[in-house]
């Protein structure tokens, strides 16, 4: 009985140890397995995501290759939509661009040639006047009296001279006395002419054809000699004075055509021509003054004082291939684009 008892006890102990070892082994294996699976799942997810991105990118590249180059595997190009136009033929111009303020060819200040009170103003700003047309009438009472006095003096001098001439013929007076009477007649004649001029100055006239651009007096003003009363400008022709760099001066000659565009009339082009090229270069700016003349502008669209852009045509090409400037791509190195 005792040997069997010890055998049973030994068997039970072995079983308990085996069970304990098995439980311990399972616990350790489960922890290691979870940690491994956790890390491996993370790595697998990262790796898988990278694979997906690479595959998607590769798929798009392959798709673009097939679209751009069917049947061929060429260098990877991404398709870009472009706009196309039809090339046409026409005339093209090369020009120099300058900005300036338009000026009249003639502009004069009308000044009074005598003093007096303004009685009547006969024109207003904006009126067109002809040369010799009356502009202002001054008080002429004093000038008229002086003129009448000068006439009387001359008439008296003429009578005295006639009497002296008769007496000289009869040897009643000497030649010196006769010459003196003739000299007095000349003096009165000159004085009469002066008074006639002074009387004429009481009416102020326009010296040129043009438009009244400025009036500086009012009726009742007491003006002085040499006082400026009006400003008159001739609008035809109108001049555009521009300044061209000396490096371009050989491109501009007299008679050359130019286009003039006003800032306020941008939809209308006015044609002009080079009237004069200055023979000297401004040493400070390094430019040459060029005068552009525009005539036949009776409609008054362009006016002095307007800001304008001048396109001086320096070269022309007939029946040339024309493409929009925005279609040109400037690169430092030659490149080819396949459409």
If we measure between CA atoms, which residue out of 137, 106, 112 comes closest to residue 122?
Answer: 137
Q: What is the reported pLDDT for 24?
A: 59
Counting as low any pLDDT under 70, the low residues of the chain are: 1-11, 13-14, 16-79, 297-300, 331-332, 334-339
Q: What is the reported pLDDT for 22?
A: 63
Angle at 302 between CA 300 and CA 307, to 5 degrees: 155
Q: Give yes or no for a contact between 258 and 271, defined as CB atoms under 8 angstroms apart.
A: yes
- Write out pLDDT tens, residues 141-183: 999 999 999 999 999 999 999 998 888 888 888 888 888 989 9
DSSP letter at 304? T
Domains, in order of start, for the chain: 93-105+234-327 (2.40.30.170), 108-228 (2.40.50.100)
Q: What is the reported pLDDT for 33?
A: 46
């Amino acid at each position: 009985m005792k040997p069997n008892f010890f055998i049973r006890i030994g068997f039970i102990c072995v079983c308990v140890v085996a069970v304990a070892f098995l439980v311990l082994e399972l616990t350790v294996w489960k922890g290691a397995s979870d940690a491994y699976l956790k890390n491996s799942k993370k790595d697998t997810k990262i790796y898988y995501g990278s694979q997906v991105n690479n595959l998607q990118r590769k798929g798009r590249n392959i798709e673009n290759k097939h679209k751009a180059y069917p049947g061929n595997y060429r260098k990877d190009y991404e398709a870009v939509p472009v706009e196309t136009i039809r090339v046409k033929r026409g005339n093209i111009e090369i020009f120099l661009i300058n900005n300036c303020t338009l000026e009249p060819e003639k502009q004069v200040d009308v000044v009074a040639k005598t003093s007096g009170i303004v009685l009547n103003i006969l024109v207003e700003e904006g009126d067109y006047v002809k040369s010799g047309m009356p502009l202002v009438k001054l008080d002429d009472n004093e000038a008229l009296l002086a003129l009448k006095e000068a006439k009387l003096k001359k008439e008296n001098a003429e009578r005295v001279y006639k009497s002296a001439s008769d007496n000289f013929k009869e040897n009643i007076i000497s030649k010196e006395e006769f010459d003196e009477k003739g000299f007095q007649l000349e003096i009165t004649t000159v004085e009469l002419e002066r008074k006639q001029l002074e009387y004429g100055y009481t009416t102020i006239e326009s010296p040129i054809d043009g438009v009244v651009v400025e009036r500086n007096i009012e009726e009742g003003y007491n003006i002085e000699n040499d006082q400026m009363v009006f400003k008159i400008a001739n609008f035809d022709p109108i001049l555009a004075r521009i300044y061209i760099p000396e490096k371009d001066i050989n491109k501009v000659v007299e008679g050359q055509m130019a286009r003039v565009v006003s800032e306020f009339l941008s939809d209308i082009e006015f044609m002009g021509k080079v009237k004069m090229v200055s023979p000297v270069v401004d040493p400070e700016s390094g430019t040459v003054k060029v005068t552009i003349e525009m005539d036949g502008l009776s409609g008054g669209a362009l006016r002095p004082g307007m800001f304008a852009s001048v396109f001086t045509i320096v070269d022309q090409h007939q029946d040339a291939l024309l493409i929009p400037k925005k279609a040109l791509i400037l690169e430092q190195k030659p490149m080819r684009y396949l459409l």
